[in-house]
Amino acid sequence: MPSPKKKPIDQKSADLKPDTENPEGQFMTTNTGTRINDDQNSLKAGERGSTLLEDFILREKITHFDHERIPERIVHARGSAAHGFFELYKPLGKYSKARFLNDTKIKTPVFVRFSTVAGSRGSTDLARDVRGFAVKFYTQEGNFDLVGNNMPVFFIQDAMKFPDLIHAVKPEPHNEMPQAASAHDTFWDFISLMPESAHMIMWAMSDRAIPRSLRMMEGFGVHTFRLINEKGESCFVKFHWKPLLGMHSVAWDEAQNISGKDPDFHRRDLWEAIESGNFPEWEFGVQIIPEKDEHKYEFDLLDPTKLVPEELVPVQRIGKLTLNRNPDNFFAETEQVAFHVGSIVPGIDFTNDPLLQGRLFSYTDTQLIRLGGPNFHEIPINRPVVPVHNNQRDGHMRQTINEGQTSYHPNSLGGGCPFQAKMKEGGFTSHAERIDAKKIRERSKSFLDHFSQATLFFNSQSAPEQDHIVNALSFELSNVNVPAIRERMLGILSKIDKGLAQKVSANIGVAVPKKTGQLNFSVPADADPKSYDSVIAKSSLEKSPALSMVNTVKNSIKTRKIALLVADGVSASSVMAIKKAVEAAGARTELIAPKLGAIKTDGKQDLQADKRLANAASVLYDAVYVPGGKKSIDALCAEADAVHFLNEACKHCKAIGADTDAEALLELGYFAGLIGKDPGIVVGRKNNVKTFIEAAGQHRFWEREKPRKVPA
């Protein structure tokens, strides 16, 4: 084997990525740089003798292997991430002095991690769950971590309850089941005793909990934060991420099937989109609330179970986030990235939200055990782009070699360095909020309305979305074995919407309780805790259109995957017409055939199948089209998998298209009666392709669920 040639160092690349390693053309070495002569055999005492303790190469290799797994995150363990940048549309100087929110010429580097909450690292992407949406901004003033979710509210109001929530939703401790699922007794036992979770449960049981893609979901900062301007003036802010592809979901039955077919569905989708140059984009939005309006609304801005309706405070879109580079190494970047809600920069500050306050402690504490010690900030993915100077020293896995005699302040031997920065020099100063109160363990009365926004959310959903919430609650509670828990939950649902409670009741075989009774939850001493009704309020808004996904972007098939069902004898012109039109619209096609290899067409050129029917599934595609060609259609009609593929696509309300002579295959399906009546089923030659693409751009035809004629 020829010796590798030493490649010259590309200084430009080295400067951009100084911590990366590429083995191409290099000798193998130990971790201290000694070249290795033999990586196949350990050092032994003779040919068949015992291995020697002095084999430092073996010991280093085995020791590192023994330690190459670190404790997974307690929550948000399963994640996917990407690099990108943030660009500002307009300066926000009136509200914040943060430099990255004021300079439109700066491209701020970011690293974004998406995740599920409840499951382990090895769980499925398609669990019904909240999705984490964490953004690390590498700003010129230090790192700012916006550690959010794809839902704007949370289950609990106080961080004291977070361990209880997670213990309840995790697999039950006596049998370690179920994985990445909330459909079990301990979760609903907890939720049924915590009416403050009512609003979040509506979100978690909605289609928001099963997104089509990580690229097609919103993101929220959840909490109310503060912005501080140069004058030291404060205002409140809610942070939003709005996907430019719109918000789209999958059907629950579809999600379960995807989990079996491709549990990496979201991870693969994000990776492939970036690799193909279809960079995911979100616009950054803010809801600005003047400090004088803190108590203006019928909800408390500090309550993390409440949102600020966009009809009351519009979202101003001030910039754009673009993800354009996949990680080079999953462990080094996606797994070792350490987000912290306490990583802020001058111009951004906290509020007294009791859940946020607990998170400020929890994140640092978690990273200490997960990443092995206090120097996790020195891991390359966590390092800021600005220099770090302080008197913190030593500790496990310290990487910085600190020069100088002093490591304390004040000092004279080191010239007083590093210096403290005054506010006008960019030094961070906390907002001077007046505090004058007694130490108590109570909730504010303003936190006691648990149902009005849950009702607002449910009322704001379209009819199909409301049906999905009913079905989700019915599915979850049907997996609860204790009738008393189901009954308590129906009591809570009746306070959100009586019709909702009755529909779920009919599905789970438990009557809605006539008296909801007293819940075990914290109220002030002077409040009346006799019933749920003591804390019920009504929202002045009947509906909030922004809360429904039916109003999202639906005019594009960009980045979607379209399945083309083909067999020998397929019409080459029919295939090329649909492929050309779909790809021109920004989507991609895959040819699904009875077998892999060459597909003979009615022309001179063969096609190549991308997948075979036995390995493919409609749940992995956004729409399906059947090109013409009598021989091809005859062959597909004899394939039960082809008929099932179409039946399942119809059941999940997707667009289905077919050339005129392909109608025979569609007529074998259980949905044959919908041909010509359903706008999502397009058959014929005239404007066929154009109409099909327009239909696929609608994402789903949820009204098709009502007849339920497709038992695929």
List, by residue number, the catalytic residues: 76, 149
Residue with tokens 């084999």: 55
The closest of 655, 550, 642 to 595, measured between CA atoms, is 642
Q: What is the 3-state secondary structure (H, E, C) of 230-268?
A: CCCCEEEEEEEEEECCCCCECCHHHHHHHHHHCCCHHHH
Residue 430: strand pairing partners: none
CB 112 within 8 A of CB 81: yes
Name 96's Cβ contacts closer than 8 Å, sequence gap at least 6.
Answer: 102, 227, 228, 229, 347, 348
E-strand ranges in 162-254 read 219-220, 225-228, 234-243
| Strand ordering across the sheet containing 655-658 | 611-612, 588-593, 561-565, 623-626, 655-658, 681-683
CB 537 within 8 A of CB 449: yes
Cα(440)–Cα(340) distance, rounded to whole angstroms?
Answer: 27
Print burial letters for 361-370: b (CB count within 10 Å at least 16), e (below 16): ebbbebbbeb
Residue with tokens 């009005």: 452
For 456, how many CA atoms within 13 A lie in the half-sphere containing its CB?
27
Residue with tokens 């050129």: 605
Query: Packing angle between helix 640-651 and helix 630-637, nearest 10 degrees?
Result: 90
DSSP 501-526: HHHHHHHHT-PPPS----------TT
Burial class for 202, CB neighbours closer than 10 Å (0-12, 13-18, 19+): buried
For 582, the token pair is 């779909």
Cα(343)–Cα(348) distance, rounded to whole angstroms?
Answer: 10
